[in-house]
Amino acid sequence: MPEPDPTALAETLVAFANSDGGTIVLGFTEAGHSIGRIMPEDVENALRAAAARTVPPVRASIESADTAGSAAPVIRVPRSADLHALNDGRVLVRVGGDNRALGGEEIRHLANSKSVGDFEAETVAGASVEDLDPQIIDEYIEKREARMRRKLSSTREQLLKEVGALDARSRPTVTGVLLFGRNPQAFLPHSGVVFVKFPGVEARSEEGRVGYGRREEIGGPLARIVENTWRIVYEEMRVGAVVKGLERQEVMEYPETAVREALVNAVAHRDYRLKGRRIEIRKFADRMEITSPGGLAGYITLDNIIEEHFSRNPRMVQGLLQWGYIEELGFGIDRMIEDLTTAGHPQPKFTATAYGFTVAMSNHRDRRPSVVVTPAPVAGTGGSVRTANTQAVINERQARALTYMRDHGRITNRDYQALCPDVTPETLRSDLVDLVEKNVAMRVGEKKGTYYILK
């Protein structure tokens, strides 16, 4: 902003306060050319006049920053827990480099989000600095410095206060416990993730009863939740494999980046005020659903979810961004849609209620690549060679089972459990049944004498 014009300044104050906050640099044109020195008293007078045109008044601070080799006045505007408007009634938000006026429905959405206050900045009852994990903090600092390509000059305590992990009295906040806590779920039990895999297209077991094939509960600080949940989801995403001897090429059931974006978005943007429910990931035979507690934040609706951006938890989002789990703010939904459609999948389906938001991804592909599982030749009678050549889509564990069958002639449930000791017996049994249904393997025997061979 070249000159400290009160009218333009008031609009930007409201837009920043209603969004994620921001910094206004004075004394430069849009092209980055300096217009000369601006007197401090002019900045103060303009800011005072601008704040008087906002309802309720927006709080901001004036600082001096070294910009383009010269000192320039900057105005820091924090994100506000209040809904701000101009004195003419307009409610503005910051979208890209512009201030945009909201309509009636968008204002109601934003008001609902603002009315609960800034929960992530609240202190956590009973928590102390000792409840934060030094190793997690060190990892964060290391990743942030690598991303910035420079060392941080702040002390550890100063840094934790800057990112909102500690309040002014050095007490851990919700942000601090979730980002850096030794055991965040001891204070916020609902802050984890539940992963459930169902064998069919409904929330039932293979026998048609209420049940599941695999269930995992994931806890820890947000970074560990993202990593460990992704590891489990990755294990369960079937791959298309070309198996020739020991060489195998794989095609994931879902694009990796799309799933990671949906997972990180759920962790970063869920409403942590809502107790009694964790983020849920449900994997069915035909789709994957990721549900995040809390409705759409701010002025976001299903109609503008691709174009607009609003963070319910800006400190947590910033922390995950600096950690490297978020690559660029505001482009997660776009990237998710692009990756899915590029891989031949339909667009994800978004469902929003007052207390939840769900992303559903279908594993159907309009352009599914041909996938061939070709075990090595098996000697037949009379010295002849028989080659099984069956088209199928399999997962990583199943590919290992096929290799075992090729090398040993057969595989039992016990053999398979030895190959995959970290997977539940029910999931492994489902894998073998799936190979039979795909006409890749054959079941021989009954009960304890059951084993499987290549078909």
Inside any domain, residue 148? yes
**Which amino acid, residue 312?**
R
Which residue did the predictor score with more confidence, 273 or 109? 273
pLDDT of residue 302: 86
pLDDT of residue 77: 93
pLDDT of residue 50: 94
**226 CB-near residues (< 8 Å, 6+ apart):** 263, 264, 267, 320, 325
pLDDT of residue 445: 72
- Position 328 pLDDT exceeds 80: no
Each residue of 19-54: pLDDT tens digit? 888 888 887 766 666 666 778 888 899 999 999 999
**Which of 348, 369, 390 marks a domain boundary?**
369
How many domains, the chain?
3
Same domain, 254 and 166: yes
pLDDT of residue 86: 96
The CATH number of the domain where 337 resides is what?
3.30.565.60
Same domain, 295 and 431: no
Domain containing 16: what range? 6-101
**280 CB-near residues (< 8 Å, 6+ apart):** 193, 194, 196, 289, 290, 291
Same domain, 110 and 92: no
Inside any domain, residue 16? yes
Residue 200's pLDDT band, with cuts at 50, 70 and 90, is confident
Same domain, 49 and 109: no
Each residue of 202-247: pLDDT tens digit? 887 666 566 678 899 999 999 999 999 999 999 998 776 555 555 5
Same domain, 268 and 143: yes
pLDDT of residue 380: 35
**Which of 305, 340, 369 marks a domain boundary?**
369
pLDDT of residue 109: 81
Inside any domain, residue 281? yes
pLDDT of residue 132: 97
- Position 282 pLDDT exceeds 70: yes
Inside any domain, residue 1? no
Same domain, 327 and 401: no
**Which of 369, 399, 430 marks a domain boundary?**
369
- Position 381 pLDDT exceeds 60: no
**pTM, rounded to two decimals:** 0.67
Same domain, 161 and 115: yes
The CATH number of the domain where 13 resides is what?
3.30.950.30
Same domain, 140 and 177: yes
- Position 193 pLDDT exceeds 90: yes
Rounded Cα–Cα distance for residues 282 and 201 (Å): 10
The CATH number of the domain where 422 resides is what?
1.10.10.10
Tokens of 33: 């050319």
